[in-house]
Amino acid sequence: MTVIKPTVALTVSDENAPELSQRNQGRQGSRDMAEEQLRAHVRAGGRCVVDGKELYEATCEGRESVDVKAIKTAGLTQFLKVGAPYQTWRWRKVKAG
């Protein structure tokens, strides 16, 4: 991994734009890999607490859209459910102590 020195001002030109793009893609790949490793650690029962916030997995299951609620209220109970429950990742504050 290459460390990029911070600069005060960056002038992008046709000559340095490809290099800048490659460096950016490399950093994004490293970030994605690290994030997946953190998620795997949490799934395995580990903890990740940063600055008083903890990474946790939430499953968004059983949520109904406004349209589905209106259909049920109207008594039309046969509807198609599209998609499956999906996982989201959030940071929540950890109680001190």
Nearby residues of 94 by Cβ (< 8 Å), 6 or more positions away: 49, 52, 53, 54
Q: Which pLDDT score is estimated for 72?
A: 76
Q: Per-residue pLDDT for 73 more than 90?
A: no
Task: Give the pLDDT band (50/70/90) at residue 41.
Answer: very high
Residue 71 is predicted with a pLDDT of 76
Q: Is the pLDDT assigned to residue 1 strictly greater than 60? A: no
37: confidence class by pLDDT, cuts 50, 70, 90: very high
Higher pLDDT, 94 or 60: 94
Give CA torsion, residues 32, 37, 57, 28, to 10 deg: -10
Give the 3-state secondary structure of the chain: CCCCCCCCCCCCCCCCHHHHHHHHHHHHHHHHHHHHHHHHHHHCCCCCEECCEEEEEEEECCCCCHHHHHHHHCCCCCCCCCCCCEEEEEEEECCCC
Task: Name the β-bridge partners of 78.
Answer: none
Q: What is the pLDDT of residue 2?
A: 64
pTM value? 0.53
